[in-house]
A and B are shown apart, each in its own frame.
Chain A
């Protein structure tokens, strides 16, 4: 399918690790909105509509869009909410611009740490019919996926360790003040060693999307959406084969088809992928067509996916470095946008003409979104 109107990212603000109690959540959202607008060179008056991705249970509010709306410029403006995932706010925002009825969209996601237990919050997602009695949270699900991969891929633990080290080194370079001596380790979930996930932190992220006409009129550079795909796994983990990621494959297929990409390895300069633990990143290499499992060892060994390689993955350090759980997906997209715009900061890649962002939410990469951003505008349909 061809999108009606070409859409691109013209600004972004990433706050992957917010500390201190000086600001209420709404004040944080105000700040991230103002920063994204500044980065895009716009004021709120230029914003036609807003989409937020927020989870009521993380926020402690029954309809989180209500209180958030004021902070992000929602008064007297068209605003929607996609609680399924922060990255879904990007999808919806992009569709709204692409349909020609909105010239710009502000999209945001955030992840507070005010709940007494995020594990308890996540556990509420288990159905009350069969699974609520189990201590099923997201990290537990990611761990189960690791167990499954251990059985299917000999030596996978060593590869996971390499991914972890790569991302931590990247994170220390990209966000030196925040990553510091290394993030606090996450809770223990066999077979994951504690440092195989980072402890949850508070974060927020905002992007500004615009139509090609708007960007041209205002003289704004953009990271153009060349392809976008999204798909979901079924709900019950028991219905899935955790050693595979068919929904991610499907999301990638949609995105590659739109972007005219047949072989991603030649076409993509860098990628940000979901890495709540290193095992998900490994699976993403395969599902995205970057490296089948038989080649994981080789590609990690020869540095292909490292910062100096031909397809660096997670130059930002990923969620393994900074883990604002709920908005890590949208942050992956924002990181690639900034790379393509040449505004990524210390971890700017010298050749970021085409970037791929993979955002995942839920248990063991349940929801998957793939966005391909390009510096070159290309032809709109």
Chain B
């Protein structure tokens, strides 16, 4: 029997482009404080901390987690940092989960922050994720790499630019209901088309923003929660999976993963679903926060989650299946398209699902949601984390 690990505290900043009023550790402290208050705990109650931080270059400080030590009250305590690129936030929650599930600790904090807006150019940093042996001279960045995924997805399944724009419209409409989201202004398909082309076929509005802010969560063992009669929601499934690093190997002949799809994400879900006893995702899952930094990527993420067959999600999107009020709302918070503080973005996906299944999501609440899934997405759409959270 897998041990149940509960989420007893959640904290997130109101994300914005820049936070000139706060240093990087200040933002970490801000979110940590919110999560501790939510859990009604003092720092002395925390036994271990998992620090969520993706590329150091984004915050401009090597091993920047060291600067966050005091912000998370880690002095003389168990402390380590996780970095799995964009998936860092969900991997951090998973790492905290393992601390508790292993029996090492009863109460674990995970926290982090990002100031993507302060980095001179995030695409320049992200160019450095590519292989210096063969690919670094090419102008690869996350935008161009996922634009190329869009091209293949269009070729395979007939997705259109209009389908992509529908994702943006849906998510902005949902973000408008979420006071923590960064981009909250609703938009239309025409406005998406009018926004400037960045990397064919991805336009400005199809891209996530560069956000600043922090996120934190407190996890606890079932025994701790029961002994103190705390409110909690439960992490029942966890998984990660990675595919080949080389984009060119996800095409051609004899490949296992097509760059159009998200094969490793599907495999990551397999592990998480098996743990959580999910055999029929479309029926059992009520809400999903699927990390999608560009509009087209929401489609292959939905399909990898088993919420639609390969290539079918654009049609379902047009039908309204994935908006609040539809069959399976996806990204009711507005998702990554509306807020992206990279180091914690994937943690916020888990936090939002936790809020949903606890009935605490306010205006962007999905009615009756009791079981949800969250994902994190790393690098050149290579590495994924998944989690199942239920009431």
Contacts and interface: CB of A to CB of B under 8 A. Distances in A.
Instruction: Decide if A and B touch, CB cutoff 8 A.
Output: yes
Interface of A: 1-5, 24, 26, 49, 55-57, 60-63, 65-67, 69-70, 74-85, 88, 91-92, 94-96, 98-101, 121-129, 228-235, 239, 246-247, 250, 254, 362, 366-367, 381
B84 A80 contact: yes
B228 interface: no
Interface stretch (B52-60, B158-166, B201-209, B366-374): B52-60
A67 B104 contact: no
A246 B105 contact: no
B112 to A, nearest CB: 12
Interface in B254-300: 256, 264, 267-268, 271, 275
B242 A56 contact: no
Contacts of A231: 76-79
B103 A1 contact: yes
Pairs A-B, 3 closest by C-beta atoms: A124-B62, A99-B101, A98-B102
B65 A62 contact: no
B379 A66 contact: yes
Contacts of B23: 129
Pick from A78, A100, A254 the residue with the most CB of B within 10 Å. Answer: A78
A62 B82 contact: no
Nearest to A7: B102
A70 B133 CA distance: 14
A367 B80 CA distance: 9
B214 interface: no
B161 to A, nearest CB: 29
Interface string B45-79: 00000010011110011111111111000111111
Contacts, number: 204
A96 B61 CA distance: 29
Pick from B67, B128, B242 the residue with the most CB of A within 10 Å. Answer: B242
B125 interface: yes
Given A78-B241, A127-B61, A67 B102 contact: no
A125 B102 contact: no
5 contacts: A61-B128, A78-B241, A101-B2, A122-B62, A234-B69
Contacts of B105: 1
Pick from B84, B91, B244, B256 the residue with the most CB of A within 10 Å. Answer: B84
Given A1-B106, A230-B79, A95 B99 contact: yes
A228 B97 CA distance: 17
B104 A95 contact: yes
Given A56-B57, A62-B125, A100-B101, A84 B80 contact: yes
A125 B63 contact: yes
Interface residues of B, number: 71
B154 interface: no
B382 A66 contact: yes
B244 A70 contact: yes
Nearest to B64: A125
B380 interface: yes
A124 B133 contact: no
Contact of B242 (A55, A61, A77): A77
Contact of B379 (A60, A63, A85, A234): A63
Contact of A80 (B75, B95, B126, B129): B95
B242 A63 contact: no
Contacts of B85: 63, 65-66
B65 A84 contact: yes
B79 A84 contact: yes
B349 interface: no
Contacts of B62: 55, 57, 121-125
B252 interface: no
A128 B84 CA distance: 24
Given A24-B133, A98-B102, A80 B379 contact: no
Given A75-B243, A229-B78, 16 more contacts: A57-B62, A63-B84, A65-B378, A66-B379, A66-B382, A66-B383, A70-B246, A75-B244, A76-B256, A95-B99, A100-B3, A125-B64, A232-B76, A235-B69, A247-B75, A250-B77
Contact of A362 (B2, B63, B75, B246): B63
Given A62-B55, A66-B378, A231-B76, A381 B103 contact: yes
A185 to B, nearest CB: 25
A4 B102 contact: yes
B248 interface: no
Nearest to A70: B245
B319 interface: no
A88 B81 contact: yes
Given A1-B103, A232-B74, A62 B128 contact: yes
Nearest to B69: A235
A76 B82 contact: no
